[in-house]
Amino acid sequence: MSMHQRYALKPSRVALGFQFFSLLCITILLSFLLNIWLCILLLGLALLILKLFRKQSTVICLEQLDHDMWSLQQADCRVIQQVKVKKILNHSLYIVITFQNKEDPNLIIWCDQLSKQQWKSMQTRARLN
């Protein structure tokens, strides 16, 4: 397979940093509105929820089969899922891939999950889509 048809995804540090930064901003804003103990309780709850979301299965390989047909391989599953891509949106820091089937969650690919060459390839694919 060509490198423009197969994308091996690494874990994203940018996504984790973005989530922590957002959580920090929300906590700072809440500290002005609520008393300190309630703010600490909400921060603990938010960190627990963040940890649970980080444990969700992640896509480790994305491969184009046909024009709209792609295969997804998840980290915790040996079964390769076939999906039909509806749209690829480029948001500079990340790319969102939406699927035809509404039950399939959108896939977000952050800029540090791919090599520079593959990232440029994915951005070009988003422009053409």
How many helices (DSSP H) and strands (DSSP E) are in the chain? 3, 6
- Residue 88's H or E segment, with its range, is strand 80-90
Q: Extract the tokens encoding 86.
A: 């509806």
Burial classification of residue 116, based on how many CB atoms lie within 10 Å of its CB (0-12 exposed, 13-18 middle, 19 or more buried): exposed
Q: Is the pLDDT of residue 3 over 70?
A: no
84-98 average pLDDT score: 93
Q: Is the pLDDT of residue 1 over 70?
A: no
Token pair 């749209």 is at which residue? 87
51-63 average pLDDT score: 80
Lowest-confidence segment of 30-44, 83-97, 114-128 by average pLDDT: 30-44
Instruction: Give 16-45 as a DSSP string.
Output: HHHHHHHHHHHHHHHHHHS-HHHHHHHHHH
Q: Show me where the domains of the chain are located.
A: 1-129
Instruction: Give pLDDT tens digits for 104-129.
Output: 889 999 999 999 999 999 999 899 87
78-89 average pLDDT score: 89
pTM given for the model: 0.82
Reported residue count of the chain is 129
